[in-house]
Amino acid sequence: MNLKNLNDKSGFMLSEVLIAMAVIAIAITPALSQLGVLRFLYDYSRQLKVTFANKNILAEQTFRAKEDKKQKSSFEKADKKTGIVSKYVRNPIKKGIPPLKKLDAKQIKNLCKQEATTTYKKVSDSMFSFLYKPLKSKS
């Protein structure tokens, strides 16, 4: 039976391995935290894209509603390039809503609620605004 000499010094000592692991951990930590920042920025940019898409839809539909009376009151469109799906709905305001009780029937007739909902890569956001078309004066 051949036994190896216990004084053989090949390999690393435990303290050397622990020091090497500590150095590697210190070197990797900034890179991992940078990945977290990049992920946050990516999610934030997706949310901004959705928000700006909603604002754009509401502004465009508000402008078109003032000049075109035959405009659709709802639509849905999907952009295959960007993956953005947008929905728009415009509904007239119903009589009897407490904050609007002071308005007469003619004024309420020209008041609409418009809502835009946009979805982009699992991020969805909705915005709404009120659209008022003033009565044309008979002059």
* H or E element in which residue 91 lies: strand 84-92
Structural domain harbouring 111 = 14-132
pLDDT at 18: 92
Angstrom distance (rounded) from CA 132 to CA 130: 6
Q: Is residue 7 part of a domain?
A: no
- Determine the average pLDDT of the residues in 84-102: 78
Angstrom distance (rounded) from CA 133 to CA 131: 7
Average pLDDT in the chain: 78
Single pTM value for the model: 0.55
Q: Is residue 105 part of a domain?
A: yes
**Nearest residue to 122 via CA among 84, 81, 76:** 84
Lowest mean pLDDT among 17-31, 74-88, 89-103: 89-103
Q: Is residue 61 part of a domain?
A: yes
CA distances from 23 to 2, 13, 32, 67 (A): 39, 16, 15, 68
pLDDT at 37: 84
CA distances from 59 to 12, 87, 115 (A): 69, 14, 11
CB atoms within 10 A of CB 46: 15
- Determine the average pLDDT of the residues in 66-71: 61
Q: Is residue 35 part of a domain?
A: yes
Residue with more model confidence, 81 or 133: 81
Tens digits of per-residue pLDDT, 38-59? Answer: 888 888 887 888 888 888 888 8
- Residue 116 CA, chain-centre distance (Å), reads 13
Residue with more model confidence, 116 or 131: 116
How many structural domains is the chain composed of?
1
pLDDT above 70 as % of the chain = 79
Q: Is residue 139 part of a domain?
A: no
Q: Is residue 137 part of a domain?
A: no
pLDDT at 69: 59
Q: Is residue 122 part of a domain?
A: yes
pLDDT at 11: 74
DSSP for residue 1? -
Q: Is residue 20 part of a domain?
A: yes
**pLDDT > 60? residue 137:** no
